[in-house]
Amino acid sequence: MMRNIILAVAFALFCVPFAARAADAPAPAAATPAVAQAFFVNIKDGDTVTSPVKIKFGITGMEIVPAGTIKPNTGHYHLLIDTDLTDEQKKLPIPKDDQHLHFGKGQTEATIDLKPGKHTLQIVMGDGNHMLHNPPVMSDKITVTVK
């Protein structure tokens, strides 16, 4: 009996400091759920469209919020037209130009002018600071033909 008490006290003295440290440790930064997926709602790879093109954006596993909102599992849409993000660009805020359109007010659709011919389109989600999530949340790249 005395042996069991001594073992219990020794166990408690050994384990309690580690449990206390674990409780005080900061929680890890919230990552974007692996299930988050961006997609095009009304167009698909191989479609032929007319300009201006109305594009509806969709997302699962993430809430759409305006740029500047810093909250886990949230973001806003960016549309890449005829371009990719380079490895260097993936470390910086998503560029803003004619090939990198921002929808920082939380818009879920856009009407864009595209010249006749083939174009690639990809949705890329940005966080409150226009940075990619970890892991990045992007749609598949699609190709459309504008007649």
At residue 146, what are phi and psi to the nearest 5 degrees? -95, 125
In the chain, where do the E strands start and end?
A: 37-40, 48-49, 53-60, 63-64, 74-81, 100-103, 109-112, 117-126, 142-146
Confidence of residue 28 (pLDDT cuts 50, 70, 90): very low
Is 16 a residue whose pLDDT tops 50?
no
pLDDT digits (tens, 9 = 90+) for 93-122: 999 999 999 999 999 999 999 999 999 999
Spatial separation of the C-alpha atoms in residues 71 and 87, rounded to whole Å: 25
More confident residue, 24 or 75: 75
Terminal alpha carbon distance of the chain? 88
Share of the chain above pLDDT 90, in %: 76
